[in-house]
Amino acid sequence: MEETDKLNAFFNPRSAAIIGATKKVDKAGNVIFKNFAYNKTRGVFKGEIYPVNPNAESILGFKCYPSITEIPGELDLIVIVVPAKVVPTIMEDAVAKKVKTAIIITSGFREIGKIELEQQIVATAKKAGIRILGPNCLGVYYQKTGVDTLFLPETKVLTTGDEVIATPRPLVGDIAIVTQSGAFGVAALDFLAGRQIGISKFVSFGNKSDVTESEMMHYLLYDNETKVILLYVEDIKYGRKFLRIAKEVTLKKPIIALKAGRSVAGARAAASHTGAIAGSDKIYDAAFEQTGVIRAADMEEFFDMGKALAMQPPALGNNIGILTDAGGPGIMAVDECESGGLSVNRFSEETLRKFQKLKDEGVLPKFAATSNPVDLTGSVTDDMFEVAADLMFQDPAVHGIVLLGLHHLPALREKYIDSVAQVSSKYSKPIVMCDIGETEMALYTRFRFDKLGIPSFPSPEDAARAMKALVNYGAYLKKNNCAEEYISEFLKKKRGS
Amino acid sequence: MEETDKLNAFFNPRSAAIIGATKKVDKAGNVIFKNFAYNKTRGVFKGEIYPVNPNAESILGFKCYPSITEIPGELDLIVIVVPAKVVPTIMEDAVAKKVKTAIIITSGFREIGKIELEQQIVATAKKAGIRILGPNCLGVYYQKTGVDTLFLPETKVLTTGDEVIATPRPLVGDIAIVTQSGAFGVAALDFLAGRQIGISKFVSFGNKSDVTESEMMHYLLYDNETKVILLYVEDIKYGRKFLRIAKEVTLKKPIIALKAGRSVAGARAAASHTGAIAGSDKIYDAAFEQTGVIRAADMEEFFDMGKALAMQPPALGNNIGILTDAGGPGIMAVDECESGGLSVNRFSEETLRKFQKLKDEGVLPKFAATSNPVDLTGSVTDDMFEVAADLMFQDPAVHGIVLLGLHHLPALREKYIDSVAQVSSKYSKPIVMCDIGETEMALYTRFRFDKLGIPSFPSPEDAARAMKALVNYGAYLKKNNCAEEYISEFLKKKRGS
């Protein structure tokens, strides 16, 4: 585990130097140093921080050094924001200083054909065992220790003089983001922040001259704060290593992959972006399937699947119960389940009888459809959702529930949200939900479900696709005889938290 | 055009009676009558309104009638909200009164097997030439004349006593919603209101005992306020008529269809929802293709395609230029274009030369990729987007542009939005855009683009799929030799507005 120890210095450095720190507002070296300074003064970053710049005495009140070799004491992390041609000299200094890890933000290497320059730096670093993240990357964001090497400030001032949120940092949560593309990475942060989905760690590795996605996944396997890994890649380095590590990780933690450069033109674009050599897309499909990595078809599915797997246990079978108060959206969810390989079978005779009894007793509307999907119709009340969900969970042939709680119907209030969450906590089967709408009550409903650990989605198809991820991951775990163990661990953590 | 005149009374009635109007708060008959009363007192609804209820003297200050036969003067529209078993008698009264149109909100007919009851009502209505919308529907929402038969109030009071927006009515715009499912219909209104997409008319037709989707589409063909028709169906009645009318409509106005009940279980659910007999899904695919109806794969695509076709002219070819400031998202857009059958070809030598010149002159970053996709990199500025978009529009081999303007990059402000819109208005080619994120600046950027007539989307794939709709519709028009005419009409209206 020595290598994992090394990678640890990227996230938990006792000291960090920002090489290229500057007072010039909005420059990368300014934003990054400011992130550290802010986190240091507020007691979040507990180590030492050092701005490095030969042309300044001090920056934001911190003593500035002309070179890292002048810094007293040990250096765990250096963040490099100087031009590419200077980086080899910096790396020689780093060797002399025996630093542990280096994040190279600077671009202008392999991605524009300067392969030798990149190789030279890596070779130098190797002499002293320095691990490198990048170059051409955004580096690390980890709220807990205050490491934030994102050069994109949280707010931006428009030409009107108005200050607006531009690159928000999301809440603390249990999804790790590991991304080759920095721009996609910050877009992901913006998306997750707005949807109030929390992250455990963020790593953008760019040209991955040294640390690869595989090593990072291996590190995250042992990271207690990470439940799910979201991996964006344009190519994968060292295929065998990836297969070996991915196989190990997915037995314990789901990995969702968004692999860009699927098409011919896309692969060409990837080559000029991060120097990626994508290869045939079918090979990736096979590799992911073999290792239990769940491949997302697009950006939304990527986040949706991550959210579902972070919040809910996987399903132990592929037959889904659909519970709705809106006929049309219910049908849309059924369609998407079936086209994704899930089943929406008619309930067992026993369950049908139980539903009939509830209708006869006036607990559910007389004309409610109850053979799966269950359609509570426009007469739905808060209590009906609770009762129907409980009954569906009880059916051993139902492996998971997609709930469509459209808030528009007159007698439905918000009370059902908490009671459905209560019911679902009695079972070890997954449930996901959808409410459609982009105004007040839809947003409230979805956020409240999320808060109670039931992932919410804005369309029936999104919810069905999220359920598909829970089914597929469950099937993979079952095949490898570790589903029961995973689920019991998962629920222990969920209920403990 | 006599039949169209008749349908007109659904949207422009000079008088309307609400049968089942009541003082009981939140009841359908209360909400609907209140909609009319509110619109009448504010001068939006300019005709006469009459609550009908034998047990009240007056409702909300309007004199109440025991039956429509007692109402003085002519009746263009009746809205029926009384129980199913009473409806036959009401319809006899309507015949006596010679009303023109009836919206039957009431459910409990064909969808629960009461086919004869439904047939009886239709037969009665036919005697007097009364046209029926429904039963088991939400009816009509048309802002301009104040017809609003939606029984879902705009706000709802939670158990906490807080009042929140629950079923908002969208802005005035040029998309018509024609839907079989009422619940999906109001969900659509909520979605569109939140995204600030306007609608021209909303029609929910439920069991379509009389007026069908085909007749409604034909009516909308001659509706100057409608540019695009969004059609949600679970089955289609009178296939031949649909084929004939859809063919006629799509030469002038795009129709986007969301057809639910694709799967076996989905079709079973549809049967118990609106009594729909769905039939094979392949037949629908063929029918849509033959008639130029664009089929959306899911809810999001449905709205996205509608928005794109309402705001942008169709493309006259399938080769797309991708303009981005973010490598990864650019690749994702390329992938989705290619997998959707679009091309992202390398630019012509001439365009490549022009881009090289801009790079040599320092107008664009030296290391920008410019062979398609154009990647302006993290050094992007507002001016670069303007210059690059203009150059791409000029290339005759580029038929449309997907712009990825991720706002996170430090030197990009909001100025480019207006200048890109300015540039695009010089050309007759379509452009769509994406910015990723769910917080302040992302929302601002997308809304501003929308406002300037360039449809914005929250993911690269959504933007690419929207472009696909513009390409497919353009190809259909070209095949029918009416693309030039459509585009010139479209741009005349767009520029005039």
CATH number for the domain that contains residue A417: 3.40.50.261
Report the candidate in B430, B490, B181 with the shortest Cα–Cα distance to residue B305.
B430
Structure confidence by residue, pLDDT tens digits, B43-89: 999 999 999 999 999 999 999 999 999 999 999 999 999 999 999 99
**A341 within a domain of the structure (yes/no):** yes
**A63 within a domain of the structure (yes/no):** yes
| Same-domain check for residues A70 and A164 | no
| Same-domain check for residues B234 and B342 | no
Last residue of one domain, picked from the residues B292, B311, B330: B311
Section A140-157 average pLDDT: 95
Shortest alpha-carbon distance between residue B265 and chain A (Å): 6
- Cβ of B369 and A439 within 8 Å? no
pLDDT of residue B495: 86
Structure confidence by residue, pLDDT tens digits, B356-375: 999 999 999 998 999 999 99
Q: Which domain holds residue A104?
A: 1-137
**A142 within a domain of the structure (yes/no):** no
Of B219-228, B267-276, B316-325, the range with the lowest mean pLDDT is B267-276
Scanning every residue of chain A, which has its alpha carbon at the shortest distance from the alpha carbon of B320?
A265
Task: Identify which has the larger pLDDT, A370 or B266.
Answer: A370
- Cβ of A327 and B274 within 8 Å? yes
Shortest alpha-carbon distance between residue A123 and chain B (Å): 25
| Same-domain check for residues B453 and B463 | yes
Closest in A152, A181, A266 to B334, CB measured: A266
**B143 within a domain of the structure (yes/no):** no
CA distance A318 to A472: 8
Closest in B183, B322, B331 to A329, CB measured: B183
Section B262-280 average pLDDT: 75
- Cβ of B328 and A179 within 8 Å? yes
Shortest alpha-carbon distance between residue B326 and chain A (Å): 5
The number of distinct structural domains making up chain A is 3
Which of B22, B272, B295, B408 to mutate: most A Cβ within 10 Å?
B408
| Same-domain check for residues A277 and A321 | no
Confidence bin at B1 (pLDDT 50/70/90): very low
- Cβ of B335 and A261 within 8 Å? yes
Q: Would an 8 Å CB–CB cutoff place B403 in contact with chain A?
A: no
Contacting residues of A for B159, CB less than 8 Å apart? 413-415
* CB count in 10 Å sphere of residue A21: 30
3-state class of A239 per DSSP?
Answer: helix
- Cβ of A165 and B441 within 8 Å? yes
Report the candidate in B449, B434, B454, B444 with the shortest Cα–Cα distance to residue B494.
B454
| Same-domain check for residues A351 and A466 | yes
Structure confidence by residue, pLDDT tens digits, B75-84: 999 999 999 9
- Helices H, strands E: what count in chain B? 17, 22
Closest in B261, B378, B460 to A335, CB measured: B261
Q: Give me the torsion for CA of B416, B421, B423, B429, rounded to 10°.
A: 130
Scanning every residue of chain A, which has its alpha carbon at the shortest distance from the alpha carbon of B27?
A410
| Same-domain check for residues B189 and B62 | no
By DSSP bridging, strand B155-157 and strand B163-165 are antiparallel
Residue A360 scores a pLDDT above 70: yes
pLDDT of residue B195: 93
Scanning every residue of chain A, which has its alpha carbon at the shortest distance from the alpha carbon of B371?
A269
Q: Would an 8 Å CB–CB cutoff place B265 in contact with chain A?
A: yes
pLDDT of residue A149: 98
Q: Would an 8 Å CB–CB cutoff place A85 in contact with chain B?
A: no
- Cβ of A273 and B330 within 8 Å? yes
Section A483-495 average pLDDT: 94
pLDDT of residue A3: 62
Q: Would an 8 Å CB–CB cutoff place B270 in contact with chain A?
A: yes
**What phi and psi values does residue A232 have, to the nearest 5 degrees?**
-105, 120
**B434 within a domain of the structure (yes/no):** yes
Mean pLDDT of chain A: 95
Last residue of one domain, picked from the residues B311, B333, B364: B311
Residue A271 scores a pLDDT above 90: no
Contact B456, B467 (CB under 8 A): no
**A205 within a domain of the structure (yes/no):** yes
Confidence bin at A280 (pLDDT 50/70/90): confident
Q: Would an 8 Å CB–CB cutoff place B344 in contact with chain A?
A: yes
- Cβ of A345 and B265 within 8 Å? yes
pLDDT of residue A33: 97
Scanning every residue of chain A, which has its alpha carbon at the shortest distance from the alpha carbon of B272?
A369
Q: Give me the torsion for CA of A202, A205, A211, A213, rounded to 10°.
A: 70
**Domain harbouring A125, CATH code:** 3.40.50.720
| Same-domain check for residues A352 and A434 | yes
- Cβ of B436 and A190 within 8 Å? yes
pLDDT of residue A4: 67
pLDDT of residue A274: 63
Scanning every residue of chain A, which has its alpha carbon at the shortest distance from the alpha carbon of B28?
A410
- Cβ of B332 and A300 within 8 Å? no
| Same-domain check for residues B102 and B175 | no
Contacting residues of A for B277, CB less than 8 Å apart? none
**A144 within a domain of the structure (yes/no):** no
The length of chain B in residues reads 497
Closest in A234, A299, A335 to B260, CB measured: A335
- The DSSP H or E segment spanning A126 is helix A115-127
**B181 within a domain of the structure (yes/no):** yes
Q: Would an 8 Å CB–CB cutoff place A112 in contact with chain B?
A: yes
CA distance B214 to B67: 33
Confidence bin at A1 (pLDDT 50/70/90): very low
- Cβ of A439 and B168 within 8 Å? yes
Which of A205, A303, A331 to mutate: most B Cβ within 10 Å?
A331
Burial category of B251 from C-beta neighbours within 10 Å (exposed 0-12, middle 13-18, buried 19 and up): middle
Structure confidence by residue, pLDDT tens digits, A370-419: 999 999 998 999 999 999 999 999 999 999 999 999 999 988 999 999 99
Chain B, window 25-44: residues with a beta carbon less than 8 angstroms from a chain A beta carbon: 26, 28, 31
| Same-domain check for residues B306 and B348 | no
Residue A250 scores a pLDDT above 80: yes
Section A220-242 average pLDDT: 94
Contacting residues of B for A339, CB less than 8 Å apart? 262-263
Contacting residues of A for B462, CB less than 8 Å apart? 300
Residue B291 scores a pLDDT above 60: yes
Closest in B159, B270, B444 to A415, CB measured: B159
Last residue of one domain, picked from the residues B251, B286, B311: B311
Chain B, window 116-175: residues with a beta carbon less than 8 angstroms from a chain A beta carbon: 151-153, 156, 158-160, 164-168
Geometric angle at alpha carbon A435, from B39 and A474, rounded to 5°: 170
Report the candidate in A7, A77, A11 with the shortest Cα–Cα distance to residue A218.
A7
| Same-domain check for residues B280 and B317 | no
CA distance B250 to B479: 12
Residue B473 scores a pLDDT above 60: yes
Contact B236, B261 (CB under 8 A): no
| Same-domain check for residues A61 and A107 | yes
Side by side, the strands of the sheet bearing A139-142 are A147-148, A139-142, A199-204, A172-179, A228-233, A255-259, A294-295
Checking ipTM against 0.90, whether it exceeds it is yes
| Same-domain check for residues A385 and A415 | yes
Residue A349 scores a pLDDT above 50: yes
Structure confidence by residue, pLDDT tens digits, B110-134: 988 999 999 999 999 999 999 999 9
